[in-house]
Structures are given as structure tokens and as C-alpha cells.
Amino acid sequence: MQIRAVGASALMIEVDDPLAWFATLDAARAAGRLDVTDIVPGARTVLLDGVPSVTALTAALRAWPPPAAASAAGDDLDLPVTFDGPDLAQVAAHVSRSPEAVVADLTGTAFRVAFGGFAPGFAYLSGLPWSVPRLENPRPRVPAGSVALAAEYAGVYPTASPGGWQLVGRTDVALFDIDGTPPALLTPGRTVRFVVA
């Protein structure tokens, strides 16, 4: 583990299993054993913000035992998807599968929310059985609800925005509600399954 101060009241830790560390640290915070405001997992990091003493927490983290592998957090979510995206055939060709086989692979995968992304409600879903490139020329507007793939991740655009991920389908499920608890439907550690709508 590497630990770096990020300003006067935050720490960034680089770890092998950010979801496991997130779950462990979040449980410690809930039990009153960790005084931080926010815990934010990333692809290879966990950010701890609102740290009263960066020096004290750095020492505590260095002595912290490594967590067990992350287990699923919260209820599983079945997300209904219509697989009619404009890039489905391109993805199928890239991974040497038929479009039907790609859909079968996607619906047969239990994805995990690894971390939040570039917009409120966007989540990087790990577990993609193969890797696909981003588009060479990003689209100026991707419709809300678009189910997309890039590198080793799947994701769903919560709102219309520019984007360079390959679009394989769409869902009508709302992914972000500012008045919801929590506002994001896809929270770190949650298991997500795509089902044919």
C-alpha cells in the first residue's frame, strides 16, 4: 500500500483491491472507529477525505491489516436492457463473437460496481469477459440510459452527454435521483446483472 497526502485533509491510498479497502474502511467509519467525511474508491485507489489528522491516519493505515476480498454490498440489481446499440456488431467483431453471443456473455455476467465515474450516477462495472477499445471519435451526444463498453468495463450513461464508449444497448431505469438515498442507484460493491428487456 502506498499512502499520499492530498491537500491538508485528505489521503489517497493505492491498493490492490480498492473495493475490499472501501468496504473495510466504510465499516470502520460506520462503527465510529474511523473519523473521515468521505471514502471514495477508484480503479486502483481509495480517497479518504475530511481527515482530521493526516499524520495520525497515515500511521493507523500503515498498521491496518489487509482486508479480505470484497464481498457484494447491498441487494443485487437486475437491470433490464434492450440490446440494440449501434456498436453491438462492431463489439461482436472485435471479440470474435456473434452479436447474440455478446448479449449472452453480457447477460451471463455478474458485474460489480467498482467505482463512480465522470458524471453523477455513472458507475464503472467490472467483470466484462473481454476488453474492447473506446471509439476513435467520441460521440458529441450519447443518450441517457445507453449501455456501453470500454476497455474492461461496462457502464450506463445516467444522462445525455458526450462519450467515447461503444454502445450495445439501452435501459429506461433512472440511475441518479438527487433526492434518493443514496442518490446513485449503482453504489460501490453492488452486483449488477443485465437482463433482456
Residue 190 domain boundaries: 77-196
Residues 104 and 44 in one domain: no
Q: Supply the pLDDT for residue 16.
A: 87
From residue 111, give the alpha-carbon distance in Å to each of 37, 181, 189.
Answer: 28, 22, 9
- Give the integer Cα–Cα distance in Å for 177 and 108: 28
Residues linked to residue 46 through DSSP beta bridges, in sequence order:
13, 41
Q: Is 34 within the bounds of a domain?
A: yes
Q: Is 71 within the bounds of a domain?
A: no
Q: Supply the pLDDT for residue 122.
A: 95
Q: Supply the pLDDT for residue 73.
A: 56
Instruction: List the one residue out of 51, 50, 48, 41 whose CA is nearest residue 20.
Output: 41
**Exposure string over 31-54, b if 16+ CB within 10 A, otherwise e:** eeebebeebbbbeebbbbeebeeb
* pTM for the whole structure: 0.84
Torsions phi, psi of 10, nearest 5?
-145, 150
Q: Is 144 within the bounds of a domain?
A: yes
Q: How many domains does the chain have?
A: 2
Q: Supply the pLDDT for residue 104.
A: 98
Q: DSSP labels for 68-102?
A: PPP---S--EEEEEB---TTHHHHHHHTT--HHHH
Residues 59 and 92 in one domain: no
Q: Is 32 within the bounds of a domain?
A: yes
Residue 29 DSSP one-character state: H
- Within the chain, what is the greatest distance between any pair of CA atoms? 55
Q: Supply the pLDDT for residue 74.
A: 58
What CATH number has the domain bearing residue 178? 2.40.100.10
Residues 53 and 104 in one domain: no
Could you read off the pLDDT of 60-100 as tens digits, one per residue?
999 988 887 765 555 789 999 999 999 999 999 999 999 99
**Exposure string over 115-132, b if 16+ CB within 10 A, otherwise e:** bbbeeebbbbbbbbeeeb
Instruction: Supply the mean pLDDT for the chain.
Output: 93
Contacts of 137 (CB under 8 A, 6+ apart): 164
Residues 23 and 88 in one domain: no
